A and B are shown apart, each in its own frame.
Chain A
């Protein structure tokens, strides 16, 4: 699957391969000690960060409000 920023696709592929293996063979079997994909993730993320202003529409990377928060009943407006 391509990265949203196409230039990062190869780095993403390398990370995905590592992650998918760890996820299927370790994490789902209850062994999650140690993440072997940290370095690959960092390289991939650096690429994503560099492209973000050009490609990604997010104004604020840090405001990941979970959708469940939105589904809560809003307070009554007075």
Chain B
């Protein structure tokens, strides 16, 4: 069993990061996630939003790993449970694979909170527990997977930055096209008056 964890600070306020986190896929940094479905979504009696999602993903296992695990399956499914508390400003996300479970289990937990010293920043703490079962070289494979998770985590953070940039562009385009329509509307109105 291998435990991996990391902490990262985003230079954006919590609301911005969470909006991006809910719209993380698709993005160019995680081309492996090929499908996402919301299976259930509800508010609990504390006003927190619970979402259960199913992700289909090409895990990107190196071919040597696939050979050792004895599998040619390339598509894996992950279930994800997230809880967003808008009052406490905390988003917690837990995910686990639900295919290949007889061979490997990867449980991940991500928590997004505002930076304690700077509300314009957001802290992400991330941890993963990796277990490879029933094959030789399991601790070697676990280390390999921890490296994959580490580089995927970096891609995941880059992905959020990308989504945040995209949302900002959408907002600017929307306000700019609104301004243009208002200008032409006003020009037409004043031409009509003359």
Contact = CB atoms under 8 A, between A and B. Distances in A.
Interface of A: 1-6, 8, 12, 15, 19-20, 23-24, 27-30, 32, 35, 41, 44, 48, 56-58, 61, 64, 66-68, 70-71
Say whether chain A's binding surface is mostly helix, strand, loop, or mixed. helix
B86 A1 contact: no
Contacts of A48: 37, 39
A1 B25 contact: yes
B96 interface: yes
B49 to A, nearest CB: 6
Interface of B: 15, 18-19, 22-23, 25-26, 33-41, 43, 47, 49, 52, 54-56, 77, 79, 81, 84, 86-87, 94-96, 98-99, 107-109, 129
Contact of B40 (A3, A20, A30, A64): A64
Q: Which 10 A-B pairs rank lowest in CB-CB distance, beginning with the nearest?
A: A4-B35, A67-B94, A1-B25, A4-B56, A67-B96, A4-B37, A1-B36, A1-B26, A2-B35, A24-B19
A11 to B, nearest CB: 11
Contacts of A61: 39
Contact of A4 (B18, B26, B54, B96): B54
A24 B34 CA distance: 24
B22 A67 contact: no
B35 A1 contact: yes
Contact of A28 (B15, B38, B55, B107): B15
A64 B35 contact: no
24 contacts: A1-B26, A1-B33, A1-B35, A4-B37, A4-B54, A4-B77, A12-B37, A20-B19, A20-B23, A23-B49, A32-B43, A44-B38, A56-B77, A57-B77, A57-B99, A58-B54, A58-B98, A61-B39, A64-B81, A66-B81, A66-B94, A67-B96, A67-B108, A68-B109
Given A8-B37, A30-B86, A32-B43, A64 B26 contact: no
Nearest to B94: A67
A68 B86 contact: no
Contact of B86 (A5, A8, A27, A56): A27
A60 to B, nearest CB: 11
B76 to A, nearest CB: 9
Q: Which of A35, A67, A71: most chain B Cβ within 10 A? A: A67
A32 B45 CA distance: 12
